[in-house]
Amino acid sequence: ARAGVSQLHTKLVTYAPRVICFNGKGVYAWYTNRTVDVGPQNDPIGAARVFVIPSTSARNGRWQRREKAAYFLTLGQFVDRCV
């Protein structure tokens, strides 16, 4: 399963977005192979800044809709500062 990490990393560095958003802690934890939290991340990928939002899956019942929405507003502000 981790074989996909190097492929994803190559694509992210090649296409060089300014901001990368991971949908869910689990996805970013898989990518980094460490425990992570939601919100802005300290480690860039290439030149891109990284932000993790709570998973938007309906199976993610720990987060209320309004809490998820607040992270999207924060993500928007994060993007504005990065571009």
Q: How many helices (H) and strands (E) does the chain have?
A: 3, 3
Residue indicated by tokens 């934890």:
29
CB 75 within 8 A of CB 39: no
Reported pTM: 0.91
Written as one letter, the residue type at 20 is I
Q: What is the pLDDT of residue 1?
A: 63
Q: What is the pLDDT along the chain (83 residues), one digit of tens a residue?
A: 678 899 999 999 999 999 999 999 999 999 999 999 999 999 999 999 999 999 888 777 787 888 889 999 999 999 999 98
**β-strands 39-40, 49-53 pairing:** antiparallel
